[in-house]
């Protein structure tokens, strides 16, 4: 029963099957909506659904951590103001911090530029039993670096590599091979593109300017990136079309409604964890005898 005395609605899984990119091929973002019918009828219903998801994630993460044979990498990509930070904050709010790591990748520093483009993120991959979250990731190397050639020029690559007309295709191959390697070694990768409309980004930018508590979130650099919108959409389409796979799928999340986006993301993570063959470590007879011996010593 609900608090008001009525019958509590059954919490049905959220359907996201039409939003995945599970194999290479042409991707058109125009075919993916930025807004869909809400999975909730009210603010209270949204909270109920999210609380249920958080509860499931909390339990699954405990089992995942104890099992200790897999790791999970969650990658969040999207244009500025797409809701990456809020999705991470709300969806992962019930996770034990000991079993979760969050990394945000901005412009690479001098040391990072001396290495290959996968080096700086590889250092921060999650250990087995842990969930790693990348707020932006190695995919920046085929997104912003592709849109802004001056960044590529500053990376100190050999001339033959920097001027290679197939450089993006080869970087896609490197990423796909890397993600296959991660999968073979127990890391499951989920990649979320928060698909925001240009009009919704405009509204959120204005909110950041008009609300003193959000002023810190906005800079002229954000506006400059917005002016390159078409180039970014082209880069995202090419990237997802080349790196989507069954082992490391992309999910194009409608992001104009932040609450809806959070529910979709949490459902995908729940289903992925449920799909793993994990459980709390069992005990053999020798271990049981050992624990009983310890128990007796405690009681004496």
Task: Supply φ then ψ for residue 102, to 5 degrees.
Answer: -120, 130
Show the tokens assigned to 215: 């002023």
First to last CA, the chain: 48
Domains of the chain: 17-299 (3.40.50.300)
Sheet holding 187-195, edge to edge: 20-21, 250-254, 187-195, 71-78, 131-135, 100-104
CA dist., res. 107 & res. 204, Å (int): 23
CB 207 within 8 A of CB 90: no
Q: Give the pLDDT of the chain (300 residues) as one tens digit per residue.
A: 344 444 455 677 899 999 999 999 999 999 999 999 999 999 999 999 999 999 999 999 999 999 999 999 999 999 999 999 999 999 999 898 889 999 999 888 888 889 999 999 999 999 999 999 999 999 999 999 999 999 999 999 999 999 999 999 999 999 999 999 999 999 999 999 999 999 999 999 999 999 888 888 888 888 999 999 999 999 999 999 999 999 999 999 999 999 999 999 999 999 999 999 999 988 788 888 998 999 999 998
CA dist., res. 128 & res. 250, Å (int): 22
CB 101 within 8 A of CB 131: yes
Show the tokens assigned to 145: 């670096």
CA dist., res. 203 & res. 208, Å (int): 9
Show the tokens assigned to 147: 């849109």
CB 87 within 8 A of CB 194: yes
pLDDT at site 4: 44
CA dist., res. 217 & res. 289, Å (int): 58
Task: Name the DSSP letter for residue 118.
Answer: T
pLDDT at site 8: 52
């Amino acid at each position: 029963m609900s608090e008001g005395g009525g019958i509590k609605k059954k919490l049905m899984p959220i359907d996201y099957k039409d939003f995945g990119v599970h194999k290479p091929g042409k991707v058109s973002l125009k075919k993916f909506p930025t807004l869909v019918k809400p999975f909730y009828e009210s603010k209270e219903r949204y909270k109920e659904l999210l609380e249920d998801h958080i509860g499931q994630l909390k339990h699954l993460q405990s089992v995942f951590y104890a099992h200790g044979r897999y790791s999970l990498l969650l990658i969040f990509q999207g244009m500025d103001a797409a809701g990456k930070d809020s999705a991470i904050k709300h969806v992962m709010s019930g996770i034990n911090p000991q079993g979760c790591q969050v990394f945000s990748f901005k412009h690479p520093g001098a040391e990072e530029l001396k290495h290959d483009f996968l080096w700086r993120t590889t250092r921060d991959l999650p250990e087995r039993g842990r969930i790693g979250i990348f707020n932006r990731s190695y995919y920046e190397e085929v997104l912003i670096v592709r849109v802004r050639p001056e960044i590529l020029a500053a990376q100190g690559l050999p001339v033959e590599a920097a001027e290679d007309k197939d450089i993006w295709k080869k970087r896609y191959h490197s990423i796909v091979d890397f993600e296959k390697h991660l999968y073979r070694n127990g890391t499951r990768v989920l990649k979320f593109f928060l698909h925001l409309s240009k009009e919704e980004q405009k509204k959120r930018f204005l909110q950041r300017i008009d609300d003193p508590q959000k002023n810190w979130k906005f800079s002229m650099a954000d506006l400059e990136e917005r002016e390159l919108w078409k180039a970014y959409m082209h880069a995202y389409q090419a990237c997802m079309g080349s790196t989507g796979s069954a082992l490391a799928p992309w999910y194009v999340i409608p992001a104009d409604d932040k609450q809806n986006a959070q529910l979709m993301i949490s459902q995908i993570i729940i289903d992925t964890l449920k799909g793993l063959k994990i459980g709390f470590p069992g005990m053999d007879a020798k271990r049981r005898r050992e624990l009983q011996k310890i128990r007796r010593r405690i009681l004496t």
